[in-house]
Amino acid sequence: MRFESPTTTKEAAALLAGEQGDAYILAGGTDLLVRMKMGSIEPALVVDIKRISVTHEINVSAKGISIGASVSGATMSEHAKLIKSWPGVVEAANLIGSDQIQSRCTIAGNLCNASPAADSVPALIAAGAKAVIVGEQRRRTVAVEKIITGPGTTSLQKDELIESILLPKQSARSADAYLRFIPRTEMDIAVVGVGIHLTLARGVIKSARVVLGAVAPTPILVSKAARAIVGTKLDAQALENLAAACSDACDPIDDKRGTIEYRTRVAGVLARRAAVIAFKRAGGA
């Protein structure tokens, strides 16, 4: 195995492009090293991106907040401005693993690992986040929901890596929330995850994004669920309609953590709860 630690994303992309065998990006390594240990992958090349300084940056600008691909969950949890603007995204990222894992795990890695149950991904999609992708010849910025194509697969090309995740500017009457359900109190894989982002106008929901995780092969943006609450003050009927739309959208698996019926029902319940949190955070009453 070749191990490279370039200092620019451009160099990293060139390394990926030039490798004939299987090449992998190493950021936090919390998924990659497990897969290597299990023998499910045998990389010919591992490119450690942590010597690339731009990947460690959290930048706050008029456009929003960009989070470098090497920024760990622990670092996100220490950034007051990020937490204030996007509490749901930070909560989702911080639900991943133990403190040991938090020191290393990244949201870009969570996205690229493409697990249907990835905690940070529904929150990122709800937030309208974009991934800044660097390839050998070009850079492109893509909506996060366009990255995951199925369990463990992404739309990234061979020479491409994510440099940062861009969260849009949060407006004064907007907020997000993420909730997940697991059988234990912590450190488990989501049975259902729900990310919600709301924008209010005069106390009424003007726009919404509702995203479900762990109930389909990829996280799903449920536009019917958003329509169920837009134009409302999140009254009982709106919450009921939201829950029904979320349950309707589920296409989950049966496993030891939850049956199809259970996941489908819990998706609705969690969506209701997450919506109430986001609504209050946005200043709704």
Partner 1 sequence: MSGFLVSTKINGDAVQFACPTDESLLDSLRNRAGLTGVKEGCGTGDCGACSITLDDRLVCSCLVLAAEADGREVGTVEGLSDGMKLHPLQEKFIEHAALQCGICTPGFLISAKALLEKNPKPSEKEIRFALAGNLCRCTGYDKIVRAVQAAAKEMRKK
> Crossing angle of helices 87-94/260-281, nearest 10°?
140
Q: Which of 7, 53, 59, 98 binds partner 1 (CB under 8 A)?
A: 98
Both tokens of residue 106? 């990244």
Contacting residues for 217 by C-beta, under 8 A, at least 6 apart: 116, 150, 151, 251
Q: Which of 64, 68, 97, 268 binds partner 1 (CB under 8 A)?
A: 97
Asked if 103 interacts with partner 1 (CB under 8 A), we say yes
> Whole-angstrom Cα distance, residue 195 to residue 180?
9
> Whole-angstrom Cα distance, residue 154 to residue 213?
16
Is 168 in a helix, a strand, or coil? strand
Q: Which of 21, 22, 33, 237 binds partner 1 (CB under 8 A)?
A: 33
Asked if 40 interacts with partner 1 (CB under 8 A), we say no
- Is 68 exposed, middle or buried (CB count within 10 Å of its CB: 0-12, 13-18, 19+)? buried
In the bound state with partner 1, the residue whose beta carbon lies nearer, of 62 and 186, is 186
> Whole-angstrom Cα distance, residue 148 to residue 152?
8
Segment 185-224, which members bind partner 1 (CB under 8 A)? 186-187
Find the shortest distance in angstroms from Cβ 29 to partner 1.
Answer: 5
Residue 265: CA atoms inside 13 Å, Cβ hemisphere, count?
5
Instruction: For residue 58, report the phi and psi dihedrals to the nearest 5 degrees.
Output: -115, 115
Residues in contact with partner 1, shown as a per-residue x/- string from 61 to 90 under the rule CB under 8 A: -----------x-x----------------
In the bound state with partner 1, the residue whose beta carbon lies nearer, of 46 and 123, is 46
Stretch that binds partner 1, among 83-91, 96-104, 127-135, 168-176 (CB under 8 A): 96-104
Q: Say how many residues touch partner 1, by CB under 8 A.
A: 27
Asked if 26 interacts with partner 1 (CB under 8 A), we say yes
In the bound state with partner 1, the residue whose beta carbon lies nearer, of 28 and 64, is 28
Q: Which of 23, 55, 66, 104 binds partner 1 (CB under 8 A)?
A: 104
In the bound state with partner 1, the residue whose beta carbon lies nearer, of 6 and 168, is 6
